[in-house]
């Protein structure tokens, strides 16, 4: 029986807007941002930041080199937050409802300190709450120093949640990430980016 539900962030909790993020990186001076950024797993200095190989300040310095001018942390944050699109109220209501029903909820995301500084802030849900208000635990790639779809990040999440794979449902808009979780025996739901995942989740919980 499912008792633990792990949610991806971009694409599930908010609609993922890669083009908007790339436009913002171009705006601050990174001309080839559209080819450098990815929807699910970043590469280069972007991947190094999200996998914890470099910190926020090292990223700022390296991005400044790419831009050919000095960038501030605020500019870096502005560009990264461009990934975040719509966050409809039903998402937050559903998270609260699932917790009220007794499920343990956690966030499992390939992310970085710039994005999380906004996600954890009262600005995030439009109602004065950061994302931590809705989850029992947050597993962020840059803190764990490993990114999805590596099996180790799922194993670390299971250990942190004191849950088995069979007790866990994982929701992610990346088929590759869902396939990786499924190989460990985790039940998965793979909605399209920004789609209403409620019917799929409810079906998985009632099977």
Distance CA 63, CA 66 (A): 5
Phi-psi region of 68 (alpha: psi -120 to 50; beta: other; left: phi over 0): left
Alpha carbons 72 and 94: distance in angstroms, whole number: 37
Name the catalytic one among 8, 125, 172, 173.
8
Sheet holding 137-140, edge to edge: 137-140, 104-109, 4-7, 168-171, 187-189
Residue with tokens 């250990």: 159
Which residue, 188, 156, 153, is CA-closest to 173? 188
Least Cα distance to 157 among 3, 43, 4, 11 occurs for 4
Helix (DSSP H) and strand (DSSP E) numbers for the chain:
11, 5
Is residue 8 among the annotated active site residues?
Answer: yes
Q: Which residues are catalytic?
A: 8
């Amino acid at each position: 029986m499912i008792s633990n539900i792990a949610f991806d962030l971009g694409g599930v909790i908010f609609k993922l807007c890669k083009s908007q993020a790339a436009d913002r990186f171009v705006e601050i001076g990174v001309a080839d941002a559209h080819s450098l950024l990815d929807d699910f797993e970043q590469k280069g200095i972007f991947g190094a930041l999200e996998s914890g190989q470099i910190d926020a300040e090292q990223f700022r310095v390296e991005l400044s080199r790419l831009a050919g001018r000095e960038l501030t942390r605020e500019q870096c944050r502005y560009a990264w937050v461009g990934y975040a699109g719509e966050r409809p109220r039903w998402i937050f209501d559903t998270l609260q409802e699932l917790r009220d029903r007794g499920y343990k909820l956690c966030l499992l995301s390939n992310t970085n300190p710039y994005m999380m500084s906004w996600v954890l802030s009262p600005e995030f849900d439009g109602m004065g709450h950061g994302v931590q208000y809705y989850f029992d635990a947050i597993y962020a790639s840059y803190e764990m120093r490993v990114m999805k779809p590596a099996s180790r990040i799922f194993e670390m999440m299971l250990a942190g949640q004191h849950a088995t794979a069979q007790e866990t449902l994982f929701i992610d808009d990346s088929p590759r990430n869902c396939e990786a979780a499924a190989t460990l025996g985790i039940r998965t739901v793979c909605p399209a980016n920004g789609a209403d995942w409620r019917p799929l989740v409810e079906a998985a919980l009632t099977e």
